[in-house]
C-alpha cells in the first residue's frame, strides 16, 4: 500500500515536472529578471528608456529609467542590490512580462524594490484579474531594498505580470526602484494524520533568490488575498518575513517565519478540530541570528486559549519549544501567532525584526488525563 502510494506520489511529481516543462515554466528569475541584459545605447537617453521594448524581455510604459550601480540621484548614491542594474518607475510608469502558466495553479512572484523620494511609495502588482497594492517602505532593511512576495492564481494560460507605480509625485524622477524579479509555482500541502496544520514547517512558500540575504516579506492578506505562504494568512497591517536556513538561524527545516511587525502582523490558519477534544499545539520560538536582541514574547492563540512564550534573544540564533494545550470548542479552531513587541536590529537601529516561529504542530491528545 505504502509502495503504491509512493509510486503515485512519484508519478505525480514527474507529471508536475513534465507538465511545467511542457508549458515552459521554471521556478526562478524571470527572463532578464535582474535587468542585466542592457538596452541598446540608442534606446536610452541618459538613464531614460526611450522605447517600450528597449529592455530585453520587458515591455515598459511611461517614464522608466535604467539605473546602473554607482549612479547618483542628486547627492544620493543609488545602491543596486543584485548585479549592476535596476529600473525605476516614474509616475504611472510600469513594466510587464508574459509568463506561460497552468490555469488553476497558484504562483508567487518575488521582487526586490526600494523607495526613492516619497515617504509613501507604492507598487501595484497585478496578474489579471488580480492585483495588490503594496507599500514600499524602508522599515525592514537599512539599505532600503527589500524583497516582497505576491501570490496569484492563474486564470489564463498566459500571466501578464505587471508592476505599476500608481504614484503622482511632483518630481518625475521619484518612484520605486525594482530589481530581481522571480516566480515560483506553489504546491499547497495538506493536513495529515500526523499534523492538523498545513504547511506547518513553512517549507512551502515564495521563491527565494539563492544570493539574497534579507529574507522575503510576505504582505498581509489585505494586499495579497492568495498568500505567498500557502495555508497561512498574514493578518493585520504589516508583513511577516520569510527566512531561509542559508542566511538565518532556522529552528527546523529550510524555512521559518520572522514576526517583524509586532502586534500589527500575525500569521493564522484555521484547523479542523472536534469540539470537546483536547489538543496540543507545539511550536518553536527563537531568533534568526540577525542581531535582533532583547526580551521577546510570542503569543500563540488556539481559539480562545492563549499562551505567551517569553524568549531571551542574544541575536545569535537559538530556539525553544512551547506547548499550548486546549480543549476545542468547535469544529474549526483558529491558530494564530504574533509578537507582543517591536524589535530593532542592534547593528543598524533602522530595521524591524522579531522572534522566529517554526515547526508548528497540532494534534489531538489521546489520554489527556494521563498526560497532565
Ligand atoms: C509560451 O507558449 C507559447 C505558445 O504555446 C510559446 O510559443 C512560447 O514560446 C511560450 N513562451 C515561453 C517563454 O516559454
Ligand atoms: C535627451 O534628454 C535631453 C534632456 O532631457 C533632451 O534635451 C533631449 O532632447 C533628449 N534626447 C532625445 C533623443 O530624446
Ligand atoms: C492596480 O492594477 C490593476 C490592474 O492593472 C487595476 O485594475 C487597479 O485599478 C490598480 N489599482 C490601483 C490602486 O492602482
Ligand atoms: C551569486 O553570487 C555569486 C558570487 O558573488 C555570483 O557568482 C553569482 O552569479 C550570483 N548568482 C546570482 C543568481 O545572482
Ligand atoms: C460540528 O459538526 C457537526 C457535523 O458536521 C455538527 O453536527 C455540530 O453541530 C458541529 N459542532 C459545532 C460546535 O459547530
pLDDT in tens, 165-194: 998 877 877 889 999 999 999 998 888 989
Average pLDDT over residues 4-30: 55
Q: Which domains does the chain have, with CATH numbers?
A: 21-186 (2.60.120.260), 216-364 (2.60.120.260)
Q: Read off the pLDDT band of 19 (50, 70, 90).
A: very low
Residues at CB less than 6 angstroms from ligand 5: 275, 330-331
CA distance 203 to 190: 13
Per-residue burial over 331-342, b = 16 or more CB atoms within 10 Å of its CB, e = otherwise: eebebbbbbbeb
Ligand number nearest CA of 48 is 2
Distance 24 CA to ligand 1 centre (A): 6
Distance 147 CA to ligand 1 centre (A): 28
Q: Read off the pLDDT band of 118 (50, 70, 90).
A: low
- Ligand 5 pocket: which of 329, 331, 332, 333 to mutate (most atoms within 8 A of CB): 331
pLDDT tens-place string over residues 303-343: 999 999 999 999 999 999 999 999 999 999 999 999 999 99
Distance 30 CA to ligand 1 centre (A): 14
Q: For residue 106, is pLDDT > 70?
A: yes
CA-based nearest residue to 55, from 71, 42, 66, 70: 66
Residue having the nearest C-alpha atom to atom 11 of ligand 4:
211
Ligand 3 in reach of 135 Cβ (< 6 A): no
pLDDT tens-place string over residues 279-299: 999 999 999 999 999 999 999
CA distance 118 to 351: 18
> End-to-end distance of the chain based on CA atoms, in angstroms?
36
Residue having the nearest C-alpha atom to atom 14 of ligand 4:
211
Average pLDDT over residues 134-159: 86
pLDDT tens-place string over residues 22-72: 455 789 999 999 999 999 999 999 999 999 999 999 999 999 999 988 777
Is residue 371 within a helix (H) or strand (E), and if so which, with residue range?
helix 368-371
Average pLDDT over residues 123-135: 95
Identify whether the C-beta of residue 106 lies closer than 8 Å to the C-beta of residue 186.
yes
Average pLDDT over residues 232-238: 91
CA-based nearest residue to 233, from 221, 218, 217: 221
Residue 80, pLDDT score? 79
Helix ranges (DSSP H) in 71-229: none
Residue having the nearest C-alpha atom to atom 2 of ligand 1:
100
* SS3 (DSSP) at 40: coil
What's the mean pLDDT when you consider all of the chain? 89
CA distance 224 to 191: 23
Least confident stretch, 14-23, 229-238, 252-261, 326-335: 14-23
Residue 8, pLDDT score? 43
CA distance 142 to 308: 30
pLDDT tens-place string over residues 348-371: 777 899 999 999 999 999 876 654
Residue 348, pLDDT score? 77
Residue 142, pLDDT score? 62
Could you identify the atom of ligand 4 that is nearest to the CA of residue 82? 14
**Phi, then psi, of 189 in degrees rounded to 5:** -75, 160
Distance 83 CA to ligand 4 centre (A): 8
Distance 270 CA to ligand 4 centre (A): 40
Q: Read off the pLDDT band of 224 (50, 70, 90).
A: confident
Specify the long-range contacts of residues 68-71, CB closer than 8 Å, at least 24 apart: 71/47
Residue having the nearest C-alpha atom to atom 4 of ligand 4:
211
Residue 140, pLDDT score? 61
Ligand 3 in reach of 131 Cβ (< 6 A): yes
Could you identify the atom of ligand 3 that is nearest to the CA of residue 128? 4
Distance 133 CA to ligand 1 centre (A): 28
CA distance 55 to 105: 29
Ligand 1 in reach of 24 Cβ (< 6 A): yes
Residue having the nearest C-alpha atom to atom 2 of ligand 4:
211
Tracing cell 542628486 back to the chain, one arrives at 74
Is residue 73 within a helix (H) or strand (E), and if so which, with residue range?
strand 72-73
Amino acid at each position: 500500500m505504502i509502495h503504491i502510494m509512493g509510486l503515485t506520489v512519484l508519478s505525480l511529481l514527474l507529471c508536475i515536472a513534465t507538465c511545467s516543462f511542457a508549458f515552459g515554466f521554471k521556478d526562478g528569475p524571470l527572463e532578464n529578471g535582474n535587468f542585466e541584459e542592457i538596452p541598446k545605447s540608442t534606446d536610452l537617453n541618459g538613464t531614460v528608456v526611450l522605447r517600450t521594448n528597449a529592455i530585453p524581455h520587458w515591455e515598459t510604459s511611461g517614464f522608466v529609467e535604467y539605473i546602473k550601480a554607482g549612479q547618483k540621484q542628486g547627492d544620493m548614491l543609488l545602491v543596486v542590490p543584485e548585479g549592476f542594474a535596476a529600473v525605476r518607475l516614474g509616475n504611472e510608469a510600469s513594466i510587464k512580462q508574459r509568463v506561460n502558466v497552468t490555469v488553476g495553479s497558484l504562483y508567487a512572484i518575488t521582487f526586490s524594490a526600494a523607495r526613492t523620494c516619497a515617504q509613501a511609495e507604492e507598487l501595484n502588482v497585478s496578474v489579471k484579474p488580480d492585483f495588490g497594492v503594496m507599500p514600499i517602505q524602508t522599515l525592514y532593511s537599512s539599505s532600503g531594498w527589500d524583497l516582497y512576495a505576491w501570490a496569484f492564481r492563474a486564470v489564463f494560460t498566459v500571466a501578464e505580470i505587471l508592476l505599476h507605480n500608481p504614484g503622482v509625485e511632483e518630481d518625475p524622477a521619484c518612484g520605486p526602484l525594482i530589481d530581481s524579479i522571480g516566480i515560483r509555482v506553489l504546491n499547497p500541502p495538506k493536513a495529515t494524520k500526523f499534523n492538523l496544520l498545513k504547511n506547518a514547517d513553512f517549507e512551502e512558500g515564495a521563491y527565494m533568490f539563492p544570493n539574497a540575504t534579507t529574507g522575503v516579506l510576505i504582505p498581509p492578506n489585505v494586499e495579497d488575498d492568495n498568500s505567498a505562504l500557502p495555508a497561512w494568512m498574514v493578518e493585520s497591517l504589516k508583513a511577516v518575513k520569510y527566512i531561509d536556513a542559508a542566511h538565518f538561524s532556522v529552528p527546523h527545516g529550510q524555512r521559518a517565519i520572522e514576526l517583524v511587525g509586532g502586534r500589527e502582523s500575525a500569521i493564522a490558519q484555521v484547523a479542523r478540530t472536534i469540539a470537546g477534544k483536547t489538543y496540543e499545539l507545539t511550536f518553536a520560538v527563537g531568533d534568526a541570528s540577525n542581531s535582533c536582541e532583547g526580551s521577546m514574547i510570542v503569543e500563540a492563540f488556539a481559539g480562545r486559549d492563549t499562551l505567551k512564550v517569553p524568549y531571551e534573544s542574544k541575536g545569535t540564533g537559538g530556539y525553544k519549544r512551547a506547548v499550548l494545550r486546549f480543549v476545542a470548542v468547535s469544529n474549526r479552531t483558529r491558530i494564530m501567532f504574533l509578537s507582543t513587541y517591536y524589535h530593532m536590529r542592534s547593528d543598524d537601529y533602522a530595521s524591524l525584526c522579531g522572534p522566529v516561529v517554526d515547526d508548528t504542530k497540532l494534534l489531538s491528545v489521546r489520554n489527556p488525563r494521563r498526560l497532565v
